[in-house]
Amino acid sequence: MDFTPIINQVVGALWYLIPIGILAATLKSAWFKGVAGEFIVNLSAKLFLDKETYHLVKNVTLPTEDGSTQIDHVIVSKYGVFVIETKNIKGWIFGNPNQKTWTQQIYKHKNKFQNPLHQNYKHTKVLESLLGLNENQVFSVVVFVGDSTFKTEMPENVTYGKGYIRFIKSKVQPVLTELEVKQITSKIEVGRLTPSFKTNREHVKHVKTIVAEKESRQNCPKCGSEMIIREVKKGQNAGNKFWGCSKFPKCRGVVNVT
């Protein structure tokens, strides 16, 4: 029996499910969440910051010695240069400024992610170097968008939604002249890599390489510091390799080489 007519009828009746499925997958993707988060920050800046005083530069990819670094938003004003990292993450958020990783919890499921303050630290240092500024003129800001709740106390530069606007407006002491503001904005535009699919693809490739290198490293089970390969010097196991904490002798964490 030929089932082709029946199959064609079913496909014809359900064809609309294909674009719906594609749309649903797109809405759940990390890419869309990133775009949505950046859109919210862009919109808030345009609605609540005076564009004559605060100059927004978005999606800034800057060359570095080891590749590139990508900054979601830079806002330049006489009150300083604000470097903004956006996180579209839901659930409970646990972390403190000194931890390497923070924790996202949704019901009983927990997920680790890089401390965004550490992530943004490199961004601020690259900009300080490019612009010839000091740490009193460049401010790191982390913005969480989406349905998230901080379950540990956060510093004032880690905020929800448009809370970052309050942080920016809390800086009322001028640290740059109007001429410097214009020069800095121009220098960022000139120094950035041209926004394009190729630029973004190459940056993503660079980030994946860094992540792979980090994952290949061993962290100390006791203190979390990086471990290094050591060799047993004495006894029946002399010559054997093992992972030893880089903080030795302060920390004596050990992991067998597998």
| Tens digits of residue pLDDT in 159-193 | 988 889 999 999 999 999 999 999 999 888 886 65
Query: What strand order describes the sheet that includes 254-256?
Result: 227-231, 241-245, 254-256
- The H-assigned helical ranges of the chain are 4-14, 17-28, 30-48, 116-131, 163-169, 178-191, 197-216
pLDDT of 83 reads 95
User: What are the tens digits of pLDDT across the range 212-255?
Assistant: 444 455 677 777 677 777 877 777 777 777 788 888 878 877 77
pLDDT of 203 reads 37
Distance separating alpha carbons of residues 21 and 154, to the nearest angstrom: 38
Band (pLDDT 50/70/90 cuts) for residue 200 is: very low
DSSP structure class, residue 50: -
pLDDT of 204 reads 41
Distance separating alpha carbons of residues 200 and 211, to the nearest angstrom: 16
pLDDT of 92 reads 95
pLDDT of 16 reads 53
**How many residues are recorded in the chain?**
258
Bridge partners, 103 (sequence order): 94, 112
User: What are the tens digits of pLDDT across the range 142-161?
Assistant: 999 888 999 999 999 999 88
Q: Are 86 and 73 spatial neighbours (Cβ–Cβ below 8 Å)?
A: yes
The residue-averaged pLDDT of 121-130 equals 89
Q: Write down the pTM of the prediction.
A: 0.65
pLDDT of 13 reads 54
Residue 256 has pLDDT above 50, yes or no: yes
The residue-averaged pLDDT of 36-59 equals 82
Residue 258 has pLDDT above 70, yes or no: no
Residues 6+ apart with CB under 8 A from 137: 80, 81, 128, 175, 176
Q: Average pLDDT of the chain?
A: 78
Torsions phi, psi for 51 (to 5 deg):
-70, -15
Distance separating alpha carbons of residues 154 and 241, to the nearest angstrom: 41
Please give the single-letter amino acid code of residue 40: I
